[in-house]
Amino acid sequence: MSMFRTKSVEQSLRDGDEPEYQLKKRLTALDLTVFGVGVVIGAGIFTVAGRAAKELAGPSVVLSFVVAAVCCGLAALCYAEFASSIPISGSAYTFSYASLGEIIAWIIGWDLLLELMLGASVVAQGWSAYLGVFLDHLGLAIPESVAYGSRFDLPAFLLVVVLSILVSIGIKESLRVNLALVALKVFIVLFVIVAGIGFIKSANYSPFIPPSQPAKAKSSLESPLIEWAFGFAPSHFGIPGILAAASLVFFAYIGFDVVATTAEEAKNPKRDLPIGIIASLVICTVLYCAVAIVLTGMVPFTELSTEASLATAFESVGKSGYATLISAGAVAGLTTVVMTLLIGTSRVVFAMSRDWLLPPWLGKTNHRTGTPLRITVIVGVVVALVAALTPVGKLEFMINIGTLSAFFLVSLAVPVLRRRRPDLQRPFRVPFSPVVPWVSAAICAYLMLTLPVETWIRFLVWMALGFLIYFAYGYRSSRLSGNPKKGELPSMTST
């Protein structure tokens, strides 16, 4: 049996009907759009915009957001075609299983776990930081021994535990809480835009694209792979700065693909999934660009904070009360991000265990809640411990590389599946295929090359661990291996 054996679309759909692995179909297009907005608008809009403007692009950071949005938009089109054609949990993992083969599906699934689990952990740490800032504005304080940046970040730990319990109760119940918090978060973002307009000074936009200048040299491990490999001289601002900032603000868009992980829980996935994926990305792009314009107009880009940039921008114009409100919005906003990433993680593991690439007992759903309870508990414990114990600032780039590698492979998979299954019903089709998927893959590959060498080393270690698990367990246990487990039937549709 080949490592590139594929699982037919029809078999994937049948597997979703098995009672012990069946999820409840309860989500509408609105739910999915809110779900996407909830995960995308998070740490990026509250922190990354200021850092990217100050260090890399100046006022032209708004163009960096547009470049990053184009990259994500092209990938979103590919996700939308797959999600409408193969409405099964697992997102890019499931899509690639039907087109590129089992080993590629495993790689993507393993990458998605890297993105989602580390993403939830890192954002939980960011939530802890903003909680501390918010409480400070109220005259309260978290003990330093258990606060953000300590050896054990208690607020981050408790956040993940509480959200894991909520996610275990049910997907619809989780999204009711998500809807309320997303509404608050969007209100805060709109408040920043409307309130900030009055403090804009046109002089702060000049020069809109600051002249390019050499950047401070970094160590070999900290240098972007493309600079290290080809000997390029690092530079800030100008066109190179806009592109470098695009690689940074890409983090702000991570998460829209999580919508595809809930495909099996959508009432009308062929219509609602493309709407949810594309609508959430468009909404977030408009809000991001508006905030970037206001932020760089309020404060000279050289004076922006690289941390809580929105809050400090209002403090700099004498509006500390606004800063308190923004901090509260950040706390609410990051809560929805962590919850959505926990849901996405559990659904990817669910899909992999249903295919027997991971132990099948993990993926069986609870009859009362309709959720994979065992997976949710395990994921919650792991994420909570990583969030509480991992030193701050060590794992952010790992999230980017996991996401970009998944985007890259999904983009390549679209023309492959079209060639292999031209008969497959596709309610949504990527326009101008295969050119658009190829361009999407090329952009993702370039952005991966801009990540630091040390990130690539950690990524290769992570992938080596994944291959070890696959060849020790998944390859022989897979439904496509022809080795049925007691009481279960294997898939007979491998090719």
Distances (CA, A) of 312 to 87, 159, 229, 291: 43, 25, 38, 14
- For residues 176-200, average pLDDT: 83
Q: Which is more confidently placed, 336 or 464? A: 464
Residue 370 and residue 142 in contact, taking contact as beta carbons nearer than 8 Å: no
Residue-level length of the chain: 495
d(CA 102, CA 475): 9
d(CA 54, CA 210): 11
| 303 pLDDT above the threshold of 80 | yes
The residue whose two tokens read 């929805």 is 336
The closest alpha carbon to 165, from 41, 7, 339, belongs to 339
Which pair of structure tokens corresponds to residue 224? Answer: 């972007």
The residue whose two tokens read 């040299």 is 217
Model pLDDT for residues 1-24, shown as the tens digit of each residue = 578 888 877 777 776 666 665 666
What does the pLDDT read at residue 322?
82
| 3-state secondary structure at position 17 | coil
Mean pLDDT check: name the lowest of 97-111, 247-261, 379-393, 414-428: 247-261
d(CA 332, CA 222): 33
Strands 213-214 and 235-236: antiparallel
Report phi then psi at 432, rounded to 5.
55, 35
Mean pLDDT check: name the lowest of 203-207, 318-322, 413-417: 318-322
d(CA 304, CA 51): 7
Q: Which is more confidently placed, 239 or 251? A: 239
**464 band by pLDDT with thresholds 50, 70 and 90:** very high
For the whole model, what pTM was predicted? 0.81
| Distance of alpha carbon 101 from the chain centroid | 24
At a CB cut-off of 8 Å and minimum separation 6, what does 24 contact?
A: 170, 171, 172, 265, 370
**290 band by pLDDT with thresholds 50, 70 and 90:** very high
What does the pLDDT read at residue 166?
83
For all residues of the chain together, what is the average pLDDT? Answer: 82
- Mean pLDDT is highest, among 156-165, 259-268, 299-308, for 156-165
Residue type, 365: T
**426 band by pLDDT with thresholds 50, 70 and 90:** confident
Model pLDDT for residues 45-71, shown as the tens digit of each residue = 776 778 788 888 889 999 999 988 888
**Domain ranges for the chain:** 16-481
Beta bridge partners of 452: 224
d(CA 176, CA 336): 11
What does the pLDDT read at residue 23?
64
Identify the helix (H) or strand (E) that includes residue 213: strand 213-214
The 8-class DSSP code of residue 235 comes to E
| 467 pLDDT above the threshold of 90 | yes
**172 band by pLDDT with thresholds 50, 70 and 90:** low
What does the pLDDT read at residue 493?
45
What does the pLDDT read at residue 494?
45
d(CA 221, CA 195): 42
Choices 2.30.29.30, 2.40.160.40, 3.40.1030.10, 1.20.1740.10: CATH for 16-481: 1.20.1740.10
Model pLDDT for residues 254-264, shown as the tens digit of each residue = 777 777 767 67
CB atoms within 10 A of CB 183: 14
| 3-state secondary structure at position 104 | helix
d(CA 268, CA 247): 34
